Amino acid sequence: MANDPGTVPQEAPRHQRQVERQGVQAVPFVQRLPQVRGGVCEFCGILDKNVPSEQQYKLCPHYRGLNLRCSYCDETKDPEEVVGHAVLNVYEHPDNPDKLVVVCDSYTCTQKHEARFRTSA
Ligand SMILES: [Zn+2]
Ligand SMILES: [Zn+2]
């Protein structure tokens, strides 16, 4: 983007920053979406028998067009493999409606997620 020489630099940041509060009162409400079990949406089930099960969720109205992967797995894990073998818990991001937080059922990822959001199981 070219700088317009006529504009005066703005002092104020473009959007208001918010201070993150950690604590019991500040536990964000996270909206849970259907679980994806081995790639299959728990609400929609198998939608097309010709599609491998780890891709079934891509056909359902909840996750159409998405490539789900665990938000917490480290980079060495193959995300497709995780989707195909794990149960994914999916949440709307409390601060960003465009983002989803995905947690596979491995111990480490669940721990990381709970430390962040203190979900009550
Ligand atoms: Zn679905
Ligand atoms: Zn994971």
Q: pLDDT (tens digit, 9 = 90+) per residue, 28-66? A: 567 889 999 999 999 999 999 999 999 999 999 999 989
**Which-ligand-closest: CA of 58?**
1
* 20: three-class secondary structure by DSSP: coil
**Contact by Cβ (8 Å): 51, 44:** no
How much distance in Å is there from the Cα of 118 to the middle of ligand 1? 25
**What does pTM read for this prediction?**
0.73
Whether residue 68 is contained in a domain is answered as: yes
Determine, yes or no, domain membership for 111: yes
Asked if residue 11 is part of any domain, the answer here is no
Within-domain flag for 94: yes
Domain assignment present for residue 67? The answer is yes
DSSP 86: S
Residue 12 lies in a domain: no
Range of the domain at 55: 29-117
CA 46 vs CA 39, 62, 90, 106: distances in Å: 9, 13, 18, 24
For residues 2 and 55, give the distance between their C-alpha atoms in angstroms, rounded to a whole number.
43
Measured from the alpha carbon of residue 68, the closest ligand is: 2
Expressed in angstroms and rounded, the spacing between residue 103 Cα and the centre of ligand 1 is 17
Total domain count, the chain: 1
Supply 117's token pair. Answer: 């959001």
Residue 19 within a domain? no
Ligand in closest contact with the CA of 111: 2
